[in-house]
Amino acid sequence: MIRKPAVAGSFYESRPGKLRTEVTGYIKPAVLPSGRLAGFLSPHAGYAYSGPAAGVAFAPLKDLSFDTLVIMATGHTMPLAKGALLAEGSFETPLGRVEIDSAFCAELLKDKKLFENLPAAHETEHAVEVQVPFLQALKGDTVKIVPLLFNTTDVSLLEQAGRAIGRAMKGKRALFCVSSDLSHYPPGKIAEMSDRSVLLALKQAMRNSSPGYFDMANELLLSKASEYLDTTACGQAVMTAGAAAALELGCNDFELALYTHSGKVSGDDSAVVGYGAGYFTQVSPKPAGALELTPAMKTELLALARSSISSGLKTGKAPEQPLNSCPEFNQPAAIFVTLTLGGELRGCIGSLEPRKTLAEMAASYAVAAAFEDPRFERVTEGELKKIKIEISVLSPLQRVKDSGGIKQDFHGVYIKSGRRSGTYLPQVWEHFDKKEDFLSSLCGEKAGIPADAWKDKATELYIYTVSPFTEK
């Protein structure tokens, strides 16, 4: 089967000579990957708009030797319950034909719950096709492709499929391409806020080994910006699967090389489409999973917490937080907000799991710490002037086998036994000289379980770190 070009002459130049010149002109490195490259993100719009970003994405491939490129792309033409392959034959563009790696496809198709051979999904689909001329310009017909489409919202299936792709790539000279655009049709200013937040979420998903984090980030962003845009990422599904594949291949980071949007080309910012280029890499040492916040960001979050308590005194609730121009503030986050008065605890509320964006969590948990901590009376207006606010941003929970995995004076600890649980932040270590006393207090005084329950193999122990910052 020869899959004929469907969008030559519309998405890209149909004349071979001009197409080669155009594509070659786009292939220019911006920021090269700092770690081992396993895959990359490339946009899939018309070359006039997304060509420069796609060229940046493909540029590192020039000096790499590989046999197969798995092109995981967004399916636009029909709903797909699982990964849709075109399992044999070749793809044709004005630059010639590229063979499909039928053996690789056959390996994926062994798992019928995750993949199917569905040529109809590829007939008029552009998302794989527009990547092929870039590959041909660099490697001619020496590299085979695996054309694969996703658009399901089943995150579990996407993670499993991505992991399966990663396993199939092991031991082979293969790379993968995630073919996806970002936001669709918001004003340029909104696109910048949403798209940069999506790309940061992809980085955080890789650093936290959690494709589900990326999905949650998109849901939160869409809930804030749905009146402005159709989607935060038209390839949310394929980006999730790509993150899972990268994790299976040992990657621990996503490195952004270029961000742009169509308005920067057309000059019309009224309704744009966002494009990103970047690399799924394995870097050493492994990056930290916690959000990286600058001193200015920390100061702004503390001010937000204080103003939210002030607002809560009048309205009884935390103020709504719109999409923020700071991408870090739009990320899912787990935090605790602690209030002290004269050096004594005056309220502390938080969550060990990300539930809302960082800005929302800072606002809502500051209000909760002031008015909803059952251990204390509600904070008064007079007290607010004297109260000091501390925010602790948490890393993801990590389960440990026993207390030996807990580092004294460093880790926060969450303990769970049956339906009872409790946690101590790392700041609580200052009240204990021994790890045994810390854990016994956590069990008996906080979780309401026997003081020595931490020694029981049936008790679940989790650790985390925090980045605490306090008002001066």
DSSP letter at 259?
E
- How far CA 214 is from CA of 18, 94, 347, 403, in Å, comes to 38, 36, 32, 31
Enumerate helices (H) and strands (E) in the chain, giving the number of each: 13, 21
Give residue-wise pLDDT tens across range 319-337.
Answer: 999 999 999 999 999 999 9
Return the CATH number at 270. Answer: 3.40.830.10
Query: Would residue 61 count as lying in a domain?
Result: yes
Write out pLDDT tens, residues 234-254: 999 999 999 999 999 999 999
Q: 252 and 344 share a domain?
A: no
Q: Tell me, what CATH number does 350's domain have?
A: 3.30.700.20
What local confidence, expressed as pLDDT, does residue 396 receive?
Answer: 85
pLDDT, mean of residues 408-436: 96
Q: How far apart are CA 207 and CA 252, in angstroms?
A: 5
- The DSSP annotation for 368-399 comes to HHHHT-TTSPPPPHHHHTT-EEEEEEEPPPEE
Strand duo 253-261 + 96-99: pairing = unpaired
Say if 288 falls within a structural domain. no
For residue 203, give the H/E element and its range: helix 188-207
Q: Does residue 429 belong to any structural domain of this protein?
A: yes
Residues of the chain with pLDDT > 90: what percent?
Answer: 97
> How far is 216 from 218, CA to CA, in rounded Å?
5
Tokens of 220: 């939160």
> How buried is 59 (Cβ within 10 angstroms: 0-12 exposed, 13-18 middle, 19+ buried)?
buried
Q: Are residues 259 and 319 in the same domain?
A: no
CA dist 243 and 467 (Å) reads 26
Q: Are residues 322 and 203 in the same domain?
A: no
Per-residue model confidence as pLDDT tens digits over 78-99: 999 999 999 999 999 999 999 9
Strands (E), 235-369: 253-261, 274-282, 332-333, 335-341, 344-350, 356-357
* Residue 266: both structure tokens together: 């057309």
Closest to 449 in 3D by CA, of 426, 415, 472, 401: 415
Q: Are 162 and 150 in contact (CB under 8 A)?
A: no
- Per-residue pLDDT at 468: 93
Residues 362 and 216 in one domain: no
Instruction: Flag whether 290 is in a domain.
Output: no
434: pLDDT strictly greater than 90: yes
Domain boundary among 282, 306, 333: 282
Q: How many Å apart are CA 188 and CA 158, to the nearest integer? A: 30
Q: Which pLDDT score, from 0 to 100, does residue 163 have?
A: 98
Cα torsion through 86, 151, 272, 297, rounded to 10: -130
Q: Is residue 287 situated within a structural domain?
A: no
For the segment 353-376, the average pLDDT, to the nearest whole number, is 96
Among candidates 180, 244, 154, which has minimal Cα distance to 50? 180
User: Are residues 390 and 406 located together in one domain of the fold?
Assistant: no
Last residue of a domain, one of 374, 394, 414: 394
Number of domains in the chain: 3
Tokens 């690399």 correspond to: 279
Q: Is the same domain home to 99 and 232?
A: yes
Instruction: Supply the pLDDT for residue 288.
Output: 85
**Contacting residues for 383 by C-beta, under 8 A, at least 6 apart:** 341, 346
Domain that holds residue 146: 2-282
Average predicted confidence (pLDDT) for the chain: 96
Distances (CA, A) of 151 to 68, 177, 183, 272, 415: 23, 16, 15, 22, 38
Q: What tens digit of pLDDT does each residue of 41-64 get?
A: 999 999 999 999 999 999 999 999
Instruction: For residue 356, list its beta bridge partners.
Output: 333
Q: What is the pLDDT of residues 116-142, one digit of tens each?
A: 999 999 999 999 999 999 999 999 999
Phi, psi of 87 (to 5 degrees): -90, -10
Q: Read off the amino acid at residue 240.
A: T
Which phi-psi region, left, alpha or beta, contains residue 58 (left: φ > 0; alpha: ψ -120 to 50)? alpha
> Residues 98, 185: one domain?
yes
30 pLDDT band (50/70/90 cuts)?
A: confident
Q: What is the pLDDT of residue 31?
A: 85
- Among residues of the chain, what percentage have pLDDT more than 70? 100
- pLDDT of 74 over the 90 cut: yes
365 close to 351: Cβ distance less than 8 angstroms? yes
> Is the residue at 175 inside a domain?
yes
Nearest to 338 by CA among 387, 377, 381, 396: 387
| Alpha carbon 348 to chain centroid, angstroms | 29
On whether both 68 and 148 belong to a single domain, the answer is yes
Question: Looking at the structure, do residues 167 and 261 belong to the same domain, yes or no?
Answer: yes
313 domain-assigned: yes
3-class DSSP state for residue 286? coil
Long-range contacts of range 380-383, CB-CB < 8 Å, 24 or more positions apart? 381/313, 383/341, 383/346
Is the pLDDT at 289 greater than 90? The verdict is no
Q: Is the pLDDT of residue 19 over 90?
A: yes
Band of residue 290 on the pLDDT scale cut at 50, 70, 90: confident
Q: Same structural domain for residues 28 and 53? A: yes
Residue 185: per-residue pLDDT: 96
Per the CB < 8 A criterion, the answer to whether 334 and 350 are in contact is yes
What is the greatest pairwise CA distance in the chain? 77
Whether residue 205 is found in the same domain as residue 121: yes
Q: Can you say whether the dihedral through the CA atoms of 391, 393, 399, 402 is positive or negative?
A: negative
For 246, phi then psi, to 5°, come to -65, -40
pLDDT tens, position by position, 269-282 = 999 999 999 999 99
Q: Which CATH number is 441's domain given?
A: 3.30.1490.150
Same-domain status, 136 and 233: yes
Of 177, 134, 158, 124, the C-alpha closest to 47 is 134
Q: What pLDDT was estimated at residue 29?
A: 85
Among 339, 370, 394, give the residue marking a domain's end.
394
**Inside any domain, residue 289:** no
Dist CA 291 CA 288 (whole Å)? 8
